[in-house]
Chain A
Amino acid sequence: MDYILELNNVSRHFGEKENRAEILKDINLQIKKGEFVAIVGFSGMGKSTLINLMGGLLEPSEGEVRSKGEPVTGPAPDRGVIFQNYSLLPWLSVEGNVGLAVNQIYKDKSKTERQAIIEKYVDMVSLSPAIHKKPKELSGGMRQRVSVARALSMDPDILLMDEPLSALDALTRSVLQDQILDIWKSTGKTIVLITNDVDEGLYMADRIIPISIGPNATLGPSFEINIPRPRDRKTLNKNEEFRRLRAEVISFLNEEKRKEKLNETTDSNSYPLPDIAPAAI
Chain B
Amino acid sequence: MKQKLINFFELTGLTWFIPIVRLCTGDDPKEQIGDLSRQIALPLAAMVSFFMIWSYCSTKIKTSVGQLPGPSYVLSQAKAMWATHKSEKFNKEEFKTNEELRISVAELIEQRQKTTSLETKKSLTSKINSIKAVILKHLSQLENEIKVNQAIVDKAEADKKAQVTAMTTQLNSLKKFVFDENNKAVLGPDGKPKLSDESLSKLANINNRRVAVFEGNLVRIYKSSENTAKSLIKKIEKIDTYYQQDIAYQAALNKDELEKKIISNKKKLDAFEKQIFKGKEYNSNGSIVDYIKLSITTVIFGFCLAAGIAIPMGILCGLSPSIMTALNPLIQTFRPVSPLAWVLITIQIIDGIFVGDNALTGEILKNTFLHAGITVALCSMWATLSNTALGVSSVDPDHMNVAKVLKLNWFDRIFKIVIPSAIPYIFTGLRITLGVGWMVLIVAEMMATSRGLGWFIDQEYQNNKVESLANIIVCIFIIGLIGAVLDRIMSVFQKLVSFNDDVAA
Contact = CB atoms under 8 A, between A and B. Distances in A.
B401 A87 contact: yes
| Size bracket of the B interface | 20 to 34
A100 B401 contact: no
A134 B499 contact: yes
A91 B401 contact: no
B147 interface: no
Given A75-B407, A77-B406, A135-B501, 20 more contacts: A52-B401, A57-B401, A57-B404, A75-B404, A79-B405, A81-B405, A87-B401, A89-B417, A100-B402, A100-B416, A105-B406, A134-B499, A136-B501, A139-B505, A140-B504, A140-B505, A167-B505, A168-B505, A169-B505, A172-B505
Contact of A81 (B396, B401, B502, B504): B401
Contacts of B204: none
Contacts of A172: 505
A58 to B, nearest CB: 10
Interface in B392-421: 396, 398-399, 401-402, 404-408, 412, 416-417, 420-421
Contacts of B501: 90, 135-136
B499 A136 contact: yes
B21 interface: no
Contacts of A126: none
Interface in A33-69: 52, 55, 57
A76 B407 contact: yes
Given A90-B501, A138-B503, A74 B404 contact: yes
22 contacts: A55-B405, A57-B405, A74-B404, A75-B405, A76-B407, A77-B405, A79-B405, A81-B401, A83-B402, A87-B396, A87-B398, A89-B399, A89-B417, A89-B421, A90-B501, A100-B402, A104-B412, A134-B499, A135-B499, A136-B502, A136-B503, A167-B505
Nearest to B401: A57
B500 interface: yes
A123 interface: no
Contacts, number: 69
B423 interface: yes
Q: What 7 A-B pairs come out closest when comparing CB atoms?
A: A140-B505, A90-B499, A87-B398, A75-B405, A91-B420, A104-B406, A75-B404
A137 interface: yes
Contacts of A154: 405-406
A141 B503 CA distance: 11
B398 A83 contact: yes
Contacts of B405: 55, 57, 75, 77, 79-81, 154
Nearest to B504: A140
Contacts of B406: 77, 100-101, 104-105, 154
A89 B402 CA distance: 9
Nearest to A147: B402
Nearest to A76: B407
A216 interface: no
Contacts of B402: 83, 87, 89, 100
Nearest to B408: A104
Interface in A84-109: 85, 87, 89-92, 100-101, 104-105
Contacts of A57: 401, 404-405
A72 B505 CA distance: 35
Interface string A223-266: 00000000000000000000000000000000000000000000
